[in-house]
Amino acid sequence: MKISKTMQSALNNQITLEANASNSYLAMASWCEITGYEGGASFFYAQSDEERTHMLKIVRYLNGLGVPAVIPATKLPASNFKSLESILKTALNSEQIVTAAIHKMVEIAQKEKDHSTYAFLEWFVNEQVQEETKFETLIQKFELIGRDKLAINEIDKILAASATVSTPA
């Protein structure tokens, strides 16, 4: 099966987005770990692995079509964060960018009547709903519980519990 150059480019760009997200989450995990947020570290290490899995899913899809996947160099992620709350807000923003890119690929697939790629992308559309909801819910915890040391400790425990409930790829 052939896919258009436009779709190939979009999928390869998505590989880059997923790789950068994986590295960003790894940097967030590292910051959490050295700052004492063990739950946050576990959560973001799992997020990093998940984004890498998403990247590999696209690489394997392209390879299965006989289309060369472009394995990108990644940009240096931020590593100096203000707070656990700021990290979660940064992560939500990143997920929103990924969602927009996936929606753009869906539009390309629809326009080109590329039913196979459209079907492949449905999983990512559903995954992004879960990802954005997860981060929105975690950010809401600061409004519900507060931002003092005890509240942040409770949120860190919630992150630890969330790290074990990962979406399969």
Span 43-52, pLDDT tens digits: 999 999 999 9
Name the residue ranges covered by the structural domains of the chain.
5-72+81-163
Count how many Cα atoms sit within 13 Å of the Cα of residue 101 in the half-sphere of its side chain. 19
pLDDT in tens, 50-102: 999 999 999 999 999 999 999 999 999 998 899 999 999 999 999 999 999 99
Nearest to 159, CA basis, from 21, 36, 23: 36
Which of the following CATH numbers is that of domain 5-72+81-163: 3.40.50.300, 1.20.1260.10, 1.10.238.10, 1.10.1660.10?
Answer: 1.20.1260.10
Q: Which residue has the tokens 């990644």?
A: 74
What DSSP string describes 98-112?
Answer: HHHHHHHHHHHHHHH
| Contact indicator for 150, 30 with CB cutoff of 8 Å | no
